[in-house]
Amino acid sequence: MNDESTAFLSDCFSSLEEWQSGTTENLHARWRLNSVVSACLDESGWAGYCNLCRQPVHFLVPSVKAGASPDLREELICSICGISARGRAGLTLATQSMDSQSHIYITEQASKAFVWLQSQPGRIVGSEFEPAPKARDRLAERLRRMGGHGEIRFEDVTALSFDTGLLDAVVSFDVLEHVPDYRKALQEFRRVLKPGGMLVLTVPFRPDCAETIIRARMGDDGSFEHLLEPEYHGDPLGAGVLCLYHFGWDLVEEARRAGFSAAKMVMPWAPSMGMFCGLWTLVAHR
C-alpha cells in the first residue's frame, strides 16, 4: 500500500475475555466518536482519503439522504471505487503483503471489490454461488458495467474446486452467514491455502456474544426452520438471501478447529480513510 496506510490501525483479539479486558479508555473513546460522527453526517458524506484509490475522496452515506441513520459499516462508500468501509478495511488487510506472484480468491465476483482486485498485481479469482448459466451471464454483464471483466465462475465454498495448497489468500465478505455448513467452508478455505496463507473474512459479528446466534437452520429436505425473525441480505441479482447466523467469538475457535494455526478478530480503525469502530474482520493463517 502507500504511505497513507500508516494511518491504518487494527486492534486484535482472540476471545470475548480478551476483548473485554482489552477494552481500554482509548477504545471507548473510539466508540464514542462513532456516535458523534453518525450524528454529524449529512448528505455531503465524509471527506477523507481512500487508500484503495490512493487519493482524497468523499465517502458517501446514501441512507442520510433517505432520512435514515448512517451505517458506518455498510456505507461510507468511496465516491470513486464504490467500496464500503467494510470492504475497504477487509481489502486493506488482505493485500498488505500482495505482490505480482500472489494468488488470491475472493468469494464474490460481480462486485466492486473484485473489480478493484482485478486492477492490482497478482492472480485474482472470484466466484458466485450461482449454478444457472443464464444467471451467471447476467452477473457477467453486471461485472462489465462495474468496469470488471471475465466470465462468472461458480463455486460452492463447502466444496471448492481449487487444488490443495494453491492460494496465498482467501477473501470472503459477508458470505459465511448464508452457508448452512459454515464449518465445512472454513475447512475448505484452510485446505486451498498455502502454508502461511491468509483468510480474511467478514460476517455479521456480535462482539458481546460468546456463542454464535443461529437464526435459521436447514433440514435434511433443504427447507429452513426459522428460529428468529427471518433476515434477508441483498445479492447481485436483487433477490434476498436468508441470513442463518450472527456470529460470536466461537467463530475464532471454529477457525482453529478447521486447522488454522492462528485466528483472531481484528477491528480496523482509520477515520481519515472513512473507517470507524465495528469493522470486525476474522484474520486466520494456515
Q: What would the pLDDT profile of 154-209 be if each residue is shown by its tens digit?
A: 999 999 999 999 999 999 999 999 999 999 999 999 999 999 999 999 999 999 99
Backbone Cα Rg of the chain: 18
Q: What is the mean pLDDT of residues 2-22?
A: 78
Q: What is the mean pLDDT of residues 54-61?
A: 96
Q: What is the mean pLDDT of residues 234-258?
A: 92
Residue 197: what pLDDT? 97
Q: Is residue 125 scored above 90 in pLDDT?
A: yes
Residue 28: what pLDDT? 83
Residue 181: what pLDDT? 97
Confidence at 280, pLDDT banded by 50, 70, 90? very high
Q: What is the mean pLDDT of residues 263-267?
A: 96
Question: Looking at the domain 3-285, which fold is it?
Answer: Rossmann fold (3.40.50)
Question: In the predicted model, what is the mean pLDDT of the chain?
Answer: 93
Confidence at 283, pLDDT banded by 50, 70, 90? very high
Identify whether the C-beta of residue 139 lies closer than 8 Å to the C-beta of residue 153: no
Tens-place pLDDT, residues 74-99 = 999 999 999 999 999 999 999 988 88
When mean pLDDT is compared across 136-145, 168-177, 234-243, the lowest value belongs to 234-243
Residue 238: what pLDDT? 72
Residue 138: what pLDDT? 95
Contacts of 132 (CB under 8 A, 6+ apart): none
